[in-house]
Structure 1
Amino acid sequence: MFTPQGPSLRELAVQALSSVERGYDLLAPKFDHTPFRTPDSVLDAVERALSAMGPFDHGLDLCCGTGAGMGVLSAVCRESVTGVDISAGMLAVGREQEPPSGESGESAQSGPRVDWVRGDALALPFGSVFDLVVSFGAFGHFLPREFPELFGQVHSVLRPGGRFAFPLPAPAPPSSPWYWALLGFDGAMRVRNAVWRPPFVMYYRPFRLGDVRRELERAGFDVELYALPEFGRRRDGSPRCRMVVATRGDG
């Protein structure tokens, strides 16, 4: 898809007619060559913002996929970095890749311990052991009714004072071609899920800042927003991309 190394249209069609787990198992070997991987520009911006807040000891990449966000955690966490994902195929690719070692080129042994864990984001297999949880590009796999459960799970694996951070781009305006492209994509997915089983949950539009902030606060988080200046501002002065930082209180 878009590159010779990416999946073909036929491969994408087979993946789209599978479950989320099976679809990503099939996509995993070529995932990093698709537009679905979080761009390095976003990863770098989040890393810079988190570096100003850290360092942290133990980090979790929620729905880590092949591990694009694991490098961010390895740069800001001192003790351990854990990636959790429901797709065994995505985790296998992540394990096979060279462990992140940061910009300094130091060996993996000098950085945090790296672990890959197969698990469901709605039933995380951890206690309250993390100082930082991040996630990149995964929230479209959860329906709005699942946000309370999802954020409750993240709250449960953070230590008091721990932070849950993720980038959130501003929605495209109706004048943008991206607005209509995403609207069409979500519409096609709704039709697909209405006529085909198992469902493949992937919607771009329902994860909106107002709803997300409200559900995070209901889950017990204090929420702050940080503009990511690398992406500039829209005509109305609002940031094109923010980092949401939700902090678990001491209670």
Structure 2
Amino acid sequence: MFSPEGPRLRELAVQALSSVEHGYDLLAPKFDHTPFRTPDSVLDATVSALRRTGPFDAGLDLCCGTGAGVEVLGQVCRESVTGVDFSAGMLTVARNRVRPPGPPVRWVRADARALPFGPVFDLVVSFGAFGHFLPRELPALFAGVHAVLRPGGRFVFPVVAPPRPGSLTYGMLLGFDAVMRVRNTVRRPPFVMYYRTFRFGDIRRELARAGFLVEFQALPEFGRRRDGSPKVRLVVAARAGA
């Protein structure tokens, strides 16, 4: 799962026993050499989809990590790009690594549940971060994103179709979530990272409650499952307005 440059088992164990913020501070220098980083294929497909509906002016990468989403925004935004994350370590790596073409980039350390912005963005993206939020936190999270978008702005993120019950992947994710629940029961502070708590039905319902108009777009680059459903979708949530 990991390249030779990635973290060792002991490093991952220390991270998992830390808080989310401190854990990612520790992981930051090697994060891009782990499978936790969103694959380039997903990032590239998202760029292609956004180019069909853009360009945009100001973009925000929510929970930007080491800046992969900022590089996406740099290809579709004309005026400015902002990356926000609460891990100082991840932001340090991002500042040193990311040199996207296009508009200037700023990096902001902040909690995604309390964004320090007004309605100044036309596009908000996020990649691979929602497992760090409990289901009860989604209403406030989505309401906060809605508040920083201009009228007509869009909140866009990819979601992978859930594995079928009984499959190897399903069992692995179920086991991972179970281990994390036990860990968070016996140790504080918790390390919130669950793979099976972010579901299509919950996404649509909570985005609609926050005031978004929601649609799912298939990413054709990844094909379809046997039942005809897309393997990867792009969630496009629009704030009503001009």
Pairwise mapping of residues 96-111 of structure 1 onto structure 2 (< 5 A)? 96-101=96-101, 111=102
CA distance, structure 2, for counterparts of residue 98 and residue 179 of structure 1: 34
Query: Does the CA contact (< 8 Å) of 2:82 and 2:105 recur in 1?
Result: yes
Q: CA RMSD in A?
A: 0.9
What residue number does 2:173 align with?
Answer: 182
What residue number does 1:104 align with?
Answer: none
State the number of aligned residues.
242
Q: Which of 126, 146, 149 is the aligned partner of 1:155?
A: 146
What residue number does 2:26 align with?
Answer: 26
Instruction: Please state whether the residue corresponding to 1:69 is helix, strand or coil.
Output: helix
What residue number does 1:239 align with?
Answer: 230
CA distance, structure 1, for counterparts of residue 197 and residue 154 of structure 2: 23
What residue number does 2:35 align with?
Answer: 35
Q: Which of 209, 221, 231 is the aligned partner of 1:230?
A: 221
Letter in 2 for 1:22: H
Instruction: Please state whether the residue corresponding to 2:241 is helix, strand or coil.
Output: coil
Shift of 1:98: 4.0
What residue number does 1:70 align with?
Answer: 70
- Counterpart check, 1:52 vs 2:43: no
Shift of 1:176: 2.1
What residue number does 1:106 align with?
Answer: none
Q: Which deviates further from its counterpart, 4-13 or 171-180?
A: 171-180
CA distance, structure 2, for counterparts of residue 88 and residue 209 of structure 1: 31
Shift >2 Å, 4+ stretches: none
Letter in 1 for 2:210: A
Letter in 1 for 2:222: F
Shift of 1:143: 0.2
Instruction: Please state whether the residue corresponding to 2:64 is helix, strand or coil.
Output: coil
- Counterpart check, 1:206 vs 2:197: yes
- Counterpart check, 1:249 vs 2:206: no
CA distance, structure 1, for counterparts of residue 109 and residue 98 of structure 2: 19
What residue number does 2:136 align with?
Answer: 145
CA deviations on 1:193-245 (whole Å, 9 max, x unpaired) are: 00011100000001001111000000000001100001110111000010000
Letter in 1 for 2:6: G
What residue number does 1:131 align with?
Answer: 122
| TM-score with structure 2 setting the length | 0.98
Instruction: Please state whether the residue corresponding to 1:164 is helix, strand or coil.
Output: strand
What residue number does 2:211 align with?
Answer: 220
CA deviations on 1:45-97 (whole Å, 9 max, x unpaired) are: 00000010000000000000000111110000000000000000000000011
CA distance, structure 2, for counterparts of residue 186 and residue 97 of structure 1: 31
What residue number does 1:116 align with?
Answer: 107
Residue identity (%): 75
**Where does structure 1 lack aligned partners over 5 or more consecutive residues?**
102-110
Query: Does the CA contact (< 8 Å) of 2:71 and 2:98 recur in 1?
Result: no
